[in-house]
Amino acid sequence: MTDLAKTERSRVKRLHERGRYDFESVARILDSGFICHVGYVIDGRPYVTPTSYWREGEHVYWHGSSASRMLRSAQDETDACLTVSLIDGLVLARSAFHHSINYSSVMLFGKAVKVEDPDHKLQALENFVERMYPGRWAQLRPANAQELKATTVMAMAIEEGAAKMRTGNPVDDDEDYGWPVWAGVVPLRTVAGVPADDGRVPADAPGQPAVAGLRHLGIDPA
């Protein structure tokens, strides 16, 4: 796996010691979440859309309705910025200035390309379901041609971008450490509650997700 290109737009300029460009760091963060924010430019103006994503090797994928404005605007390919942000904690310092957030993030730049080949598209959607809920694809009512047509799948190579992270305690000015205020970190996690079926599930139907089985999505049991 190739490390990411450190370009003018991807180089972490602010607090550059927080930046990482190696593929493993980027992939580890991508593989710890499932919601990204994708930025597009339409008529010169920015749009930011939250959506699910998944990684396959050196590409990220996301999908949406073929009728969506964002995905329609992508003809063959379109400039995109895909950002994943995982929030780990609140950082309370002794001055307002040094308050912060602990996080891991990835910002990827590139050309978003529509996956046109039906076999590739179907395989990508299977990978998506399996990434979210391992073993589920085979349990589902099979996808049909109409659904496949109604779904647009976008792919972007993981080539240009950066990971960025902050961990640990507040970093206050030396002279502030005696200041009489609490300072430290409040850790944050995403947790799953008890799965609730919709009341129309046949007895003994398989596929109820185990709450402890969502850790790969960055979701802990409550």
CB 57 to a second copy: min, Å: 21
Among the listed ranges 18-26, 54-62, 113-121, 146-154, the one in contact with a second copy (CB under 8 A) is 146-154
Output phi, psi for 215, to 5 deg: -60, -30
CA distance to 41, 52, 107, 198, 209, per residue, from 135 (Å):
37, 19, 30, 20, 10
Interface with a second copy: number of residues (CB under 8 A): 98
Least spacing, CB of residue 66 vs a second copy, in Å: 10
Question: Is the CB of 57 or the CB of 199 nearer to a second copy?
Answer: 199
Which one, 1 or 189, has the nearer CB to a second copy? 189
All residues at 6 or more sequence positions from 154 whose CB lies less than 8 Å from its CB, including other chains: 61, 62, 63, 64, 71, 74, 80, 112, 113, 114, 115
Q: Taking CB under 8 A as the rule, which mask of x and - marks residues 15-34 in contact with a second copy?
A: --------------------
The CA-based angle 71-51-65, given to 5 degrees, is: 40
Query: Applying CB under 8 A, does 166 fall inside the site for a second copy?
Result: no
CA dihedral sign, ordered 119, 120, 121, 124: positive
Q: What token pair was written down for 148? A: 């496949």
* Element (DSSP H or E) covering residue 114: strand 100-114
Residues 34-93 that bind a second copy (CB under 8 A): 35, 37-42, 44-50, 52, 64-65, 67-69, 79-83, 85, 87, 90, 92
If binding is defined by CB under 8 A, does position 127 make contact with a second copy? no
Tell me the window of 18-26, 53-61, 113-121, 168-176 that interacts with a second copy (CB under 8 A): 168-176
1-24 per-residue burial string, b: 16 or more CB within 10 A, e: under 16? eeebeeeeebebeeeeebbbbebe
Q: Which is nearer to a second copy, 61 or 109 (CB)?
A: 109
Show contacts with a second copy in window 171-210 (CB under 8 A): 173, 176-202, 204-209
118, 169, 212, 216: which one binds a second copy (CB under 8 A):
169
